[in-house]
Structure 1
Amino acid sequence: MNRVDIKEVNRNRVYQLVYQQEQVSKPAIASALGISLPTASQCVNELIERNLVYEKGYFESTGGRKAAIITLNRDIKVSVGLEILKELIHLTVIDLYGTVIHEKFIPFRFNNDEAYCIRVGEYIMEFIAECRLCHDTILGVGIAIQGLVDEKTGNVTFGRILNANGFCADRIGRYVPFSCTLRHDTELAASFALWHNPAIKDALYMVLNRNLGGAVIINGEVHRGQILPSGLIAHMTLVPEGELCYCGRRGCVERYCSADSIIHAFEQELDDFFDDLRNGEPKHVAFWEQYLKYLSRAIYNYQILMSTEVVIGGVAAKYLTEEDLHKVVDMELEKSNIAERFPRISISEYNNTAAGAALIYIKEFLGQFGIRVKA
Structure 2
Amino acid sequence: MDPRFRRGNLVSIVKYISDREQVSNSEIAGDLHMSMPTVLQHIKTLQTKGIVEETGKHRSSGGRRASLFTLKKDLAYAVGLDIKRDRQIFLIADMLGKTVYSCTCEVPYEDSFAYFEKIRRNLDAALTASGLQRSKVVGVGISLPGIVDVSRNLLLQSHALGVSNVSFQGVERLIGFPVKIENDANCAACAELRSYKGNAVYLSLSDTVGGAVFVAGALHKGDCFKSGEFGHMVIDKDGEQCYCGKRGCVDAYCSARVLKAAGGGDLNTFFARLKRGEENAVNVWRRYADYLALSISNLRMMFDCDVIIGGEVGGYLKDYQIRLMELLGQYNKFEYDNGYIKIGKFKDDGSAYGASLLFREEFIENLFVRPERVADYSVM
Partner of residue 328 from structure 2, selected from 326, 329, 332: 332
Deviation (angstroms), 1:114 = 0.9
Q: Alpha carbons of 1:239 and 1:361: their partners in 2 closer, same or farther (altered >3 Å)?
A: same
Question: Between the two proteins, what is the percent identity of the paired residues?
Answer: 27
- Within-5 A mapping of 1:349-368: 349-351=345-347, 352-368=350-366
Residue type of the partner of 1:250? R
Deviation (angstroms), 1:12 = 4.2
Deviation (angstroms), 1:208 = 1.3
Deviation (angstroms), 1:14 = 5.1
Q: 1:27 and 1:238 mapped to 2: Cα distance?
A: 52
Deviation (angstroms), 1:150 = 2.1
Q: 1:59 and 1:329 mapped to 2: Cα distance?
A: 40
Contact 2:262 2:280 (C-alpha < 8 Å) held by counterparts? no
Deviation (angstroms), 1:152 = 3.8
Q: 2:193 and 2:105 mapped to 1: Cα distance?
A: 26
Deviation (angstroms), 1:27 = 8.5
Contact 2:81 2:141 (C-alpha < 8 Å) held by counterparts? yes
Contact 1:91 1:124 (C-alpha < 8 Å) held by counterparts? yes
Q: Alpha carbons of 1:134 and 1:346: their partners in 2 closer, same or farther (altered >3 Å)?
A: same
Deviation (angstroms), 1:205 = 0.9
Q: 2:143 and 2:66 mapped to 1: Cα distance?
A: 44
Give the TM-score taking structure 2 as reference length. Answer: 0.84
Deviation (angstroms), 1:6 = 5.3
Contact 1:143 1:169 (C-alpha < 8 Å) held by counterparts? no
Q: 2:192 and 2:362 mapped to 1: Cα distance?
A: 18
Q: Alpha carbons of 1:48 and 1:297: their partners in 2 closer, same or farther (altered >3 Å)?
A: same
Structure 2: give runs of 5+ residues left out of the alignment: 369-380
CA displacement 1:136-170 (0-9 Å, x = unmatched): 32111000011211244331122121123222322
Give the TM-score taking structure 1 as reference length. Answer: 0.85
Structure 1: give runs of 5+ residues left out of the alignment: 371-375
- Within-5 A mapping of 1:288-299: 288-299=285-296
1:150 — aligned with what? 149
Q: 1:10 and 1:156 mapped to 2: Cα distance?
A: 36
Residue type of the partner of 1:110? Y
CA displacement 1:246-281 (0-9 Å, x = unmatched): 111011111111111122256442222222222222
- Give 3-state SS (helix, strand or coil) of 1:243's partner: coil
Contact 1:215 1:229 (C-alpha < 8 Å) held by counterparts? no
1:34 — aligned with what? 35
Q: Alpha carbons of 1:17 and 1:146: their partners in 2 closer, same or farther (altered >3 Å)?
A: closer
Contact 2:150 2:180 (C-alpha < 8 Å) held by counterparts? no
2:257 — aligned with what? 260
Is 1:236 equivalent to 2:233 in the alignment? yes
What RMSD over aligned residues (CA atoms) do the two structures have, in Å?
A: 3.0
352-361 vs 303-312, greater mean Cα deviation: 303-312
- Give 3-state SS (helix, strand or coil) of 1:315's partner: helix
Deviation (angstroms), 1:225 = 0.8
Deviation (angstroms), 1:192 = 0.4
Q: 2:29 and 2:308 mapped to 1: Cα distance?
A: 40
Contact 1:78 1:138 (C-alpha < 8 Å) held by counterparts? yes
Q: Alpha carbons of 1:35 and 1:232: their partners in 2 closer, same or farther (altered >3 Å)?
A: same
